[in-house]
Amino acid sequence: MTKQVALAKLIKTSRENYYKSRGIVDDEMSKAQLARRMKAKKQSISQWESGNTMPTLKSMVKLADILNIEWYLVFDTIHQNE
């Protein structure tokens, strides 16, 4: 698995489980909601989740913060798949 694909899976899974992890079972954060919080385009979120592009370092840190992912998990995901 490439680092882009591994990171894409982490971003998508974390986004989809965002509300579920807070006890709101029937909802998930949409790409549009994440894009607004990131101050990014929805297309960027789609590109990251599909593994077509990777977010910048600054965006990775922001993603980790918004999605409550420990930042080191994001970087471990990338380095384990190099």
Give the residue extent of every domain in the chain: 3-80
What pLDDT was estimated at residue 26? 60
Q: From CA 70, how far away is CA 36, in angstroms rounded?
A: 21
The DSSP output letter for 21 is G
In the predicted structure, residue 61 carries a pLDDT above the cut 80 = yes
Q: Domain 3-80, what fold?
A: 434 Repressor (Amino-terminal Domain) (1.10.260)
Taking Cα atoms as reference points, which of 21, 18, 16, 12 lies closest to residue 55?
12
In the predicted structure, residue 25 carries a pLDDT above the cut 60 = no
What pLDDT was estimated at residue 40? 95
In the structure, what pLDDT confidence band is assigned to residue 50 with cuts at 50, 70 and 90? very high
Average pLDDT, the chain: 84
What pLDDT was estimated at residue 27? 64
What pLDDT was estimated at residue 81? 61
User: How far apart, in Å, do the first and last CA atoms of the chain sit?
Assistant: 9
The DSSP output letter for 22 is G
The position carrying tokens 């591994």 is 6
More confident residue, 75 or 15: 15
